[in-house]
Amino acid sequence: MVSIKDNANHYRITAPDYQEQFIQYLERVAALGADAIEVWNEPNLDREWPADQMGGANYTILLKKAYPRIKAANPNTMVISAALSPTGAFSGGCGSIGSVYGCDDKPFFQAMVNAGALNYLDCVGMHYNEGLLPPSATSGDPRGSSQHYTRYFKGMLDTYGAILGGARSICLTEIGYLSGEEWGYLPSAFLWNPSSAINMTVAQHAEYLGQAVSLARQSGNIRLFIIFNVDFAILKTMEDDPQAGYSLIRPNQSCPACSAISAAMP
């Protein structure tokens, strides 16, 4: 799978002339034999999409243009909608938190479906990256808004599944669990567990990934499962990028999660 966006020009993505350039690039990637293309990334945040034009219907316009062009270039390329940032921070709609503008993923996704997006995708992109508990958990998250669906792997699957009604499968283009154990800390923006400076141990990180693989296989509605990430921890320090804590390969180059994942995929 190739996830394609344009960081430098994200503010232009709704302009028709730029959309044409972007779609031409998608066509070329598909023609090279891409198995799957994810069309953009997290368009419900203003770091990825212009705030004054943000919304599920506007994203669907891009998807509607891109889908037939990708399929014409390569009928075998799976088209995945941009995974949304899972969040309830915007009070069930869209708005600003400090300098950040965004939309909660559930109403954004519902607006996509209402605008006909399911006609222009083969699989619905999803991110799950804020979990603190085993993926089978449905309650007990230690943060505020502990019942919000984004706190739980099953909550995410159930929420999106209810909107989809079985019409399309889900593609997890990012799933990960964050442990700062080797560093002994996490920066405040990534420190979600009020009782731990590291969110979870590496052993828990490994266990939860293995369990998530098992649950995804059992669900019958997960078409793709991509773990975020492989090796940030040996390429970057925590100061460089806190997302090193998601890494499968830990700073000592061990991979505790590999055995758990392997056991979940006999």
The number of beta carbons lying within 10 Å of the beta carbon of residue 140 is 12
Can the peptide bond before residue 221 be classed as cis, meaning omega within 30 degrees of 0?
no
* pLDDT reported for residue 259: 97
pLDDT means per 10 residues, the chain with 266 residues, are 94 97 99 99 98 98 99 99 97 95 98 99 98 98 94 98 98 98 94 97 98 96 97 86 94 97 94
Question: Is the separation of the CB atoms in 170 and 157 below 8 Å?
Answer: yes
Spatial separation of the C-alpha atoms in residues 175 and 127, rounded to whole Å: 6
* pLDDT reported for residue 266: 80
Amino acid at 10: H
Nearest to 201 by CA among 186, 229, 182, 227: 182
pLDDT for 25-37, tens place per residue? 999 999 999 999 9
pLDDT for 201-258, tens place per residue? 999 999 999 999 999 999 999 999 999 999 999 888 788 888 999 999 999 999 999 9
For residue 131, the 8-state DSSP code is -
Give 69-100 as a DSSP string.
HHHHH-TTPEEEEPPBPP--TTTTSEEEETTE
Q: Are strands 100-103 and 94-97 parallel, antiparallel or unpaired?
A: antiparallel
Question: Is the separation of the CB atoms in 187 and 238 below 8 Å?
Answer: yes
The number of beta carbons lying within 10 Å of the beta carbon of residue 123 is 21
Spatial separation of the C-alpha atoms in residues 83 and 125, rounded to whole Å: 4
* pLDDT reported for residue 239: 82
* pLDDT reported for residue 242: 87
Alpha carbon distances (Å) from 105 to 20, 55, 68, 126, 152: 26, 10, 25, 10, 14
* pLDDT reported for residue 128: 98
Domain ranges of the chain: 2-178+220-236
* pLDDT reported for residue 263: 97
Alpha carbon distances (Å) from 221 to 32, 123, 162, 211, 218: 28, 10, 12, 16, 8
Spatial separation of the C-alpha atoms in residues 249 and 266, rounded to whole Å: 21
